[in-house]
C-alpha cells in the first residue's frame, strides 16, 4: 500500500473546498467577562453577511456535557470568545469585514485561576448549570449550584461513605477537621503535597477546518472531527432537525490530539451557510487554534498514608480543573483525572474529589492523556517523596503496592490482565536502576478507556470483488485507515488491496461513540470481527456491534471505570546543570502494555508521539495568560519539541500472547512527566509544577539555594 | 502588488531611493512571519534574491560576506569553520536547518531582533557593515548598526550590502543558552573573541541590543577562574536584563554571570 499521505492523495479537511463557497471569520471578544452592549457594522460592505448573538439566540445552548454555550456569545466568557461572525465571498473580504466591526462591551469581574474560581467569593462565570441531553453526557453531572463547579466527581471507598461532608473543599482538611481522618488511622507516615500543571495546546499541524452546506433542507458538514456522531446529534438539536437530516463527513485530519472533538466551528458555519444560502468555509488561524480548546490547567492536592514497612493505607485527593469559559468535556476529564490519580495501587481507603471549575479562560477539553497526565504527575511524584521519607527504593515501594490480577481498584472493579510489575521492571532496567539511582526516575500509571461505549461496523462486498469497510473511526494521522484495512484483510483473509475504507460519513457508516480515549482499535477490531463473521455466513453485508457497559457512580466512584486498562510506565535518566537548572535528558524510556499489536510501525509511532508530546509538557510547553489574554499563541513563543529534543527517546510495546488488542494512543503520555520529575528530584530538587523550566528547577532546590561556584 | 527583482546593487539602491516605503526582502523568514500574522501589509516589495554580487563570500584576508549569504553557508563553508570558528558556530545554532538554508546575514542584522544569535558574535569580532544608498557608501560597526529592539541606524534608502569580519587574533567562542526547545531562540547569547591577551565579551538576547563593556573586559586574566567569575558578575551587574517567556530578568541576570564565566574559561588561557 502506498500511503496517501506520502503521495499527497489525501484530502484533509483543510483541503475540502466546494464551488461557490463563502468564507467565515469570527470577531472575538476583547474582554474576558461581561456583556456585548453594541455592535457597529456600518463600516462593513453591503455584500458581507454579519451574524450577531441575537441572530443565533433561537438555536438555544449546546455543550457536549453541560449545555452552556451559545453559537455566538452576547455575554462572552473569555477573551477570544466569538461574538460576531462575518461571511463574505472571499477570505480577504471576510478578514477586512471582521476588522471593520466595532463591538462595545460592559465588563464584569473575571476569574482565571482554578483555586480562586472555587472560592465562595469568586464571580460566577455561569449563573446556572444545565446538564446536556447529548449522548456525550454519559454519566450524571454533579454541578454545585451557586459556585463555578460544573461537575464534582467523588470516590469514597466503602468504609468512607455516608458521612456528612462539605460539598466543596478548597484545601485538604487538617486532620482535626477531617471527616475522613480515620482513613489514615493505620498509617505511620502521612505525606501531602500540591502539584500544578498549566494549560497546553495540542498544536495539530492542520488547523480546524469546516465546510457547511444546506442541501434540500438537510445540513451537510465536512469537517475535521473525532466525534462525527456526537456532532451530528448536537447540530440536529441546535437546528431542531431529526438526526437523519444532518450529515457529518469526518475528513482526514492533519493531527488533532483531542483538539477536534465535539462542537467547534461547525455550528457557526452551519448558521452562516443558512444565512447566505451557500456553502460556507471556516478555517482557523494558528492563534485561534491555540484558543479554541486547551488542556486543563489543574491543581492537584494529594495526601498519602503508609505504614513504616511501605504498605499504602489511604489516599486523599482534591483535583481542581480549570475548564475555562465552557465546560466542553471537562466533567469527563475530571472523572478520569480523579480515578487515574489513585494510581495502579491497592489502598484500604480512597477519597477523591475532582472539581471541574469554570474560569474566564479559553475552554479546556479533550487532550491526549485526558486528565491522567495531570494526576499521574501528582501521584507518582508523591510516591517518590514518600519513598524518600520511608527510605525505601521507589521501585520496591511501588512493587509492594501494585494492583495485581484479582485485586479491587478503588472503584470496586476487579482487575484482570494486569502487567504493572513487568512494566515496572522493564522501565527500571532501561535506566540501569540496579547500578545506582542518581539522576534516574521512574513512574507508572493506569488510564481508563471511554466506558460505556458502543462501536458498530459493517463490511460490504462490492461487485468488483473488493470490500468496503464502514466504520465511524476518524483518521487524525494515527493511521486508522491502515489499521482498519489490515484488520479486515486479516479477518477475511484477502489482500489489503481489496479493502477500501471511505472516511466516516454519518449517512453511510453505522454509529460509533467516537474516536477518543484510545478506544478505536480495541472496540472497532471486535465489531469488525463480528461483521466479518456475519459476512462469511452469506449475503453482501456483514454487521457487527460491540457494546461496553459500565460507568461510575458520581458520588462514590463505584462501578466500572474502564472495560480495559491502558497500563504504562516510564523511566528517565537526566543530568542537571545545577548553576542554571537546565535539564539534559540522557534517556527517556516508556513501556506500554499493548496486548496484541495490530500494526507495529504505527503502534510504535503512537508511543513515540506520546512521548514527544509529554517531553514538551515536562520541559517547556505552557500556555501563558496575562489577565485572561493568551500571550503566546504562536510557535515562536510557544515551543514544541523539535527533532533535536527527541534524541533520548526509546520505548517498548509490551505484548502478551493471545491477549486482546489494547488502545495505545495515549499510554506513554502520563508516565513521562513524573519519570522526569523523579529523576530531577533524585539530584536534590523538588519539582511540583510543570513544565520543569530551568528557572523552576532552580527554585525547587531542596536546600533552597541554587548552586554557586 | 509590485514585486521588483533587481539584478544589481545599483538597481536595487535606485528602486529603494525612488520608493523608500517599499519592503526589502532577503530570505523572508522574518518578513514571512510578520505578514502571516497580519502585522505587515505592504504591497510593494524589492527582492534581493537575484543580485549575485550580494551572494559572494570572500575569504582572502578579512572575511567579506555579501548581505545575501545564508546562515547555512557561513555554518558549513570549510574556510569559515577553520578560520572564523566562533562565527560559524553562531550562525550554525540559529533555529533549524530549514531557517538557516534561507535566512541571510543582511536580514538578521536589519531585523535587529534582540533574541538573535549572530549579532553578539559579530560585535565581539569587530565586524563592520557596509551600508549603501544612491548617496554613497558608509561603513558602520555592528554595535552602531543595531540601535535597539527592531531598530537600526539604517536610513530609509539604505541597504546593507556587505559585512566585513577581520581575521581573528585569537580564539572565538559563541555560547547559546536555551531554556526551551533545542530550536528556540537564545535566552542568553554570549560571545567572546580573544585578541592576544585581551578579550571582547558581548552578551545578547538579554536586553534590547548586544552589550559590550570594554572596561570590565580590561581586567581579564586569561585562564584565571576568579577573574572570569568577577567579569561574569560585573556583566550581570551592569546589564539591565529584560524578562520574557524564555526567562525572567532575575534568571537571565544569574545566567549571564555563569555563561560569561564559562565563555572566558573556554577562550583562555
Ligand atoms: C522559526 C524561526 C526561528 C528562528 N530562530 C532564530 C534563532 O534561534 N536565532 C537567531 O539568531 N535568529 C532566529 N530567527 C531569526 C532569523 O535568523 C531571521 O529571521 C533571519 O536572520 C532574517 O533573515 P532573512 O534573510 O530571512 O530576512 P528577511 O525576513 O527577508 O528580512 C528581515 C528584515 O531585514 C530587512 N533586510 C533584509 N536584507 C536587508 C538588507 N540587505 N539591507 C537592509 N535591510 C534588509 C528586511 O526588510 C526585513 O525588515 C528565527 C526565525 C524563524 C522564522
User: Choosing among A580, A617, A707, which should be mutated to test the B contact, i.e. which has the most B CBs within 10 A?
Assistant: A580
Percent of chain B with pLDDT over 90: 94
Any B CB within 8 A of A649 CB = no
Ligand 1: atom nearest CA of B30 is 29
Residue B90 has a pLDDT of 98
Predicted confidence (pLDDT) per residue in A650-686, tens digit: 999 999 988 888 888 999 999 999 999 999 999 999 9
Q: Which residues in chain A are closer than 8 Å to B254, comparing Cβ atoms?
A: 580, 698, 706
3-state SS, residue A69: strand
Cα end-to-end span (Å), chain B: 57
For residue A708, is pLDDT > 60? no
Interchain pair B183, A709: CB under 8 A:
no
DSSP A408: B
Whole-structure pTM value: 0.96
Percent of chain A with pLDDT over 90: 90
For residue B248, is pLDDT > 70? yes
Confidence of residue A706 (pLDDT cuts 50, 70, 90): low
Predicted confidence (pLDDT) per residue in A414-441, tens digit: 999 999 999 999 999 999 999 999 999 9
Question: What ranges do the domains of chain B cover?
Answer: 2-165, 172-267
Interchain pair B181, A631: CB under 8 A:
no
**CATH placement of domain A453-548:** 3.30.365.10
DSSP A501: -
Report the residue from B182, B229, B247 with minimal CB separation from A644: B182
Distance CA A437, CA A422 (A): 19
Question: Under 8 Å CB-to-CB from A520, ≥6 apart: which residues?
Answer: A455, A473, A480, A512, A663
Any B CB within 8 A of A632 CB = yes
Task: Confirm or reject CATH 3.30.465.10 for domain B2-165, answering yes or no.
Answer: yes
Confidence of residue A87 (pLDDT cuts 50, 70, 90): very high
Crossing angle for the helix pair A372-390 and A672-681, nearest 10 degrees? Answer: 30
Report the residue from B185, B248, B258 with minimal CB separation from A580: B258
For residue A81, is pLDDT > 90? yes
Confidence of residue A519 (pLDDT cuts 50, 70, 90): confident
Distance CA A510, CA A329 (A): 23
For residue B38, is pLDDT > 80? no
Residue B36 has a pLDDT of 78
Average pLDDT, chain A: 95
For residue A455, is pLDDT > 80? yes
Fold of A4-108+202-292: Aldehyde Oxidoreductase; domain 4 (3.30.365)
Q: Interface pTM (ipTM) of the complex? A: 0.95
How far lies B61's CA from each of A136, B69, B168, in Å? 72, 18, 11
User: What mean pLDDT do residues A572-593 have?
Assistant: 98
Name which CATH class applies to B172-267.
alpha beta
Is the Cβ atom of B242 under 6 angstroms away from ligand 1? no
Cell of B13: 539602491
User: What mean pLDDT do residues A106-127 have?
Assistant: 97
For residue A67, is pLDDT > 80? yes
Which residue of A lies nearest to B115 if distances are taken between CA atoms? A636
User: What mean pLDDT do residues A352-377 have?
Assistant: 97
User: What mean pLDDT do residues A11-15 have?
Assistant: 96
User: What mean pLDDT do residues B228-245 have?
Assistant: 98
Beta bridge partners of A467: A461, A499
Distance CA A590, CA A584 (A): 17
Residue A386 has a pLDDT of 97
Any B CB within 8 A of A698 CB = yes
Ligand 1: atom nearest CA of B116 is 11
Report the residue from A287, A641, A709 with minimal CB separation from B181: A641
DSSP A390: H
Residue A709 has a pLDDT of 55
Residue A328 has a pLDDT of 97
Buried-state track A623-633, b at ≥16 Cβ within 10 A, e below 16: bebeebebebb
Distance CA A618, CA A197 (A): 9
Ligand 1: atom nearest CA of B67 is 41
Predicted confidence (pLDDT) per residue in A310-352, tens digit: 999 999 999 999 999 999 999 999 999 999 999 999 999 999 9
Distance CA A140, CA A335 (A): 11
Task: Give the residue with greater pLDDT, A356 vs A522.
Answer: A356
Residue A175 has a pLDDT of 79
Predicted confidence (pLDDT) per residue in A597-637, tens digit: 888 998 999 999 999 999 999 999 999 999 999 999 999 99
For residue A517, is pLDDT > 80? no
User: What mean pLDDT do residues A156-175 have?
Assistant: 93
Sheet of B136-141, strands arranged across: B57-58, B63-66, B159-165, B128-133, B136-141
Which residues belong to CATH 3.30.365.10 in chain A?
Answer: 4-108+202-292, 297-450+558-699, 453-548
Task: Confirm or reject CATH 3.40.50.410 for domain A297-450+558-699, answering yes or no.
Answer: no
Amino acid at each position: 500500500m502506498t500511503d496517501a499521505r506520502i503521495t499527497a492523495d489525501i484530502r484533509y479537511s483543510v483541503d475540502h473546498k466546494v464551488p461557490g463557497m463563502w468564507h467565515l471569520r469570527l470577531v472575538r471578544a476583547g474582554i474576558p467577562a461581561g456583556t456585548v452592549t453594541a455592535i457597529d457594522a456600518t463600516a462593513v460592505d453591503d455584500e458581507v453577511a454579519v451574524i450577531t448573538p441575537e441572530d443565533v439566540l433561537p438555536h438555544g445552548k449546546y455543550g457536549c456535557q453541560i449545555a452552556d454555550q451559545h453559537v455566538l456569545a452576547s455575554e462572552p466568557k473569555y477573551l477570544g470568545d466569538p461574538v460576531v461572525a462575518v461571511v463574505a465571498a472571499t477570505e480577504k473580504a471576510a478578514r477586512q469585514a471582521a476588522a471593520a466591526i466595532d463591538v462595545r462591551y460592559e465588563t464584569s469581574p473575571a476569574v482565571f485561576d482554578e483555586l480562586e474560581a472555587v472560592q465562595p467569593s469568586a464571580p460566577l462565570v455561569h449563573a446556572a448549570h444545565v446538564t446536556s441531553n447529548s449522548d456525550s453526557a454519559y454519566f450524571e453531572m454533579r454541578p454545585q449550584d451557586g459556585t463555578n463547579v460544573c461537575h464534582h466527581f467523588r470516590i469514597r471507598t466503602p468504609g468512607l461513605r455516608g458521612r456528612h461532608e462539605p460539598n466543596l473543599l478548597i484545601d485538604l482538611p487538617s486532620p482535626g477537621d477531617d471527616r475522613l481522618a480515620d482513613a489514615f488511622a493505620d498509617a505511620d507516615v502521612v505525606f501531602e503535597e500540591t502539584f500544578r500543571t498549566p494549560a497546553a495546546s495540542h498544536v495539530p499541524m492542520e488547523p480546524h477546518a469546516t465546510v457547511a452546506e444546506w442541501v434540500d433542507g438537510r445540513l451537510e458538514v465536512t469537517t475535521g472531527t473525532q466525534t462525527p456522531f456526537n456532532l451530528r446529534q448536537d447540530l440536529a438539536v441546535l437546528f431542531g432537525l431529526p438526526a437523519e437530516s444532518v450529515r457529518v463527513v469526518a475528513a482526514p485530519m492533519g493531527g488533532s490530539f483531542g483538539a477536534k472533538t465535539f462542537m467547534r466551528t461547525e455550528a457557526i458555519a452551519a448558521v452562516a451557510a443558512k444565512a447566505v444560502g451557500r456553502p460556507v468555509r471556516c478555517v482557523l488561524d494558528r492563534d485561534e487554534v491555540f484558543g479554541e480548546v486547551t488542556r486543563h490547567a489543574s491543581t492537584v492536592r494529594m495526601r498519602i498514608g503508609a505504614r513504616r514497612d511501605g504498605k499504602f493505607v489511604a489516599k486523599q485527593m482534591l483535583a481542581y480543573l480549570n475548564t475555562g469559559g465552557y465546560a466542553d468535556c471537562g466533567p469527563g476529564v475530571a472523572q478520569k483525572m480523579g480515578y487515574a490519580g489513585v494510581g495502579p495501587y491497592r489502598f484500604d481507603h480512597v477519597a477523591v474529589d475532582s472539581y471541574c471549575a469554570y474560569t474566564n479562560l479559553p475552554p479546556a477539553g479533550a487532550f491526549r492523556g485526558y486528565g491522567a497526565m495531570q494526576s499521574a504527575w501528582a501521584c507518582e511524584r508523591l510516591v517518590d517523596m514518600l519513598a524518600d521519607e520511608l527510605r525505601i527504593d521507589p521501585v520496591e515501594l511501588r512493587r509492594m503496592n501494585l494492583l495485581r490480577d484479582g485485586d479491587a481498584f478503588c472503584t470496586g472493579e476487579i482487575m484482570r490482565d494486569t502487567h504493572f510489575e513487568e512494566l515496572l521492571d522493564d522501565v527500571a532496567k532501561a535506566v540501569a536502576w540496579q547500578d545506582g539511582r542518581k539522576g534516574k526516575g521512574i513512574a507508572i500509571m493506569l488510564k481508563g478507556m471511554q466506558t460505556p461505549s458502543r462501536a458498530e461496523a459493517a463490511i460490504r462486498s462490492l461487485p468488483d470483488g473488493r470490500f468496503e469497510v464502514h466504520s465511524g473511526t476518524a483518521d487524525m494521522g494515527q493511521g486508522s485507515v491502515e489499521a482498519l484495512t489490515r484488520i479486515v484483510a486479516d479477518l477475511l483473509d484477502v489482500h489489503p488491496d481489496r479493502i477500501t475504507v471511505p472516511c466516516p460519513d454519518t449517512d453511510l457508516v453505522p454509529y460509533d461513540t467516537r474516536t477518543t480515549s484510545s478506544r478505536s482499535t480495541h472496540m472497532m477490531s471486535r465489531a469488525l470481527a463480528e461483521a466479518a463473521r456475519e459476512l462469511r455466513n452469506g449475503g453482501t453485508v456483514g454487521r457487527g456491534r460491540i457494546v461496553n457497559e459500565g460507568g461510575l457512580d458520581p458520588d462514590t466512584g463505584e462501578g466500572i471505570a474502564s472495560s480495559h486498562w491502558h497500563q504504562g510506565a516510564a523511566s528517565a535518566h537526566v543530568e542537571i546543570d545545577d548553576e542554571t537548572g537546565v535539564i539534559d535528558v540522557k534517556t527517556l524510556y516508556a513501556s506500554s502494555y499493548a496486548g496484541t499489536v495490530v500494526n507495529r510501525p504505527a503502534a510504535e509511532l503512537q508511543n513515540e508521539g506520546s512521548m514527544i508530546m509529554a517531553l514538551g509538557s515536562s520541559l517547556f510547553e505552557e500556555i501563558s495568560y496575562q489577565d485572561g489574554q493568551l500571550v503566546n499563541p504562536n510557535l515562536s513563543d510557544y515551543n514544541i519539541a523539535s527533532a533535536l529534543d527527541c534524541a533520548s527517546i526509546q520505548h517498548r510495546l509490551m505484548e502478551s500472547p493471545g491477549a486482546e488488542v489494547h488502545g495505545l494512543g495515549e499510554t506513554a503520555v502520563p508516565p513521562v512527566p513524573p519519570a522526569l520529575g523523579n529523576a530531577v528530584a533524585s539530584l536534590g530538587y523538588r519539582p511540583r509544577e510543570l513544565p520543569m523550566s530551568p528557572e523552576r528547577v532552580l527554585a525547587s532546590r531542596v536546600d533552597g539555594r541554587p548552586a554557586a561556584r | 502588488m509590485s514585486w521588483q527583482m533587481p539584478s544589481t546593487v545599483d538597481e536595487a539602491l535606485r528602486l529603494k531611493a525612488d520608493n523608500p516605503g517599499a519592503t526589502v526582502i532577503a530570505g523572508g523568514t522574518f518578513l514571512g512571519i510578520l505578514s502571516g500574522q497580519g502585522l505587515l501589509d505592504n504591497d510593494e516589495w524589492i527582492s534581493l534574491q537575484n543580485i549575485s554580487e550580494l551572494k559572494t563570500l570572500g575569504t582572502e584576508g578579512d572575511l567579506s560576506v555579501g548581505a545575501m549569504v545564508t546562515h547555512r553557508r557561513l555554518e558549513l563553508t570549510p574556510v569559515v569553520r577553520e578560520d572564523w570558528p566562533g562565527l560559524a558556530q553562531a550562525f550554525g545554532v540559529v533555529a533549524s536547518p530549514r531557517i538557516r538554508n534561507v535566512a541571510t546575514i543582511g536580514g538578521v542584522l536589519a531585523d535587529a531582533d534582540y533574541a538573535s544569535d549572530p549579532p553578539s558574535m559579530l560585535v565581539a569580532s569587530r565586524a563592520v557593515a557596509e551600508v549603501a544608498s544612491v548617496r554613497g557608501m558608509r561603513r558602520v560597526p555592528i554595535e552602531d548598526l543595531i540601535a535597539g529592539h527592531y531598530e537600526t541606524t539604517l536610513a530609509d534608502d539604505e541597504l546593507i550590502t556587505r559585512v566585513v569580519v577581520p581575521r581573528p587574533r585569537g580564539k572565538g567562542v559563541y555560547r547559546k543558552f536555551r531554556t526551551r526547545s533545542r530550536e528556540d531562540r537564545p535566552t542568553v547569547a554570549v560571545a567572546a573573541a580573544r585578541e592576544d591577551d585581551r578579550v571582547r565579551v558581548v552578551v545578547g538576547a538579554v536586553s534590547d541590543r548586544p552589550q559590550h563593556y570594554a572596561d570590565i573586559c580590561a581586567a581579564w586574566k586569561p585562564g584565571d577562574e576568579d577573574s572570569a567569575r568577577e567579569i561574569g558578575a560585573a556583566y550581570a551587574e551592569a546589564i539591565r536584563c529584560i524578562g520574557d517567556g524564555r526567562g525572567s530578568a532575575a534568571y537571565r541576570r544569574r545566567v549571564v554571570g555563569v555563561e560569561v564565566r564559562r565563555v572566558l574559561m573556554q577562550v583562555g588561557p
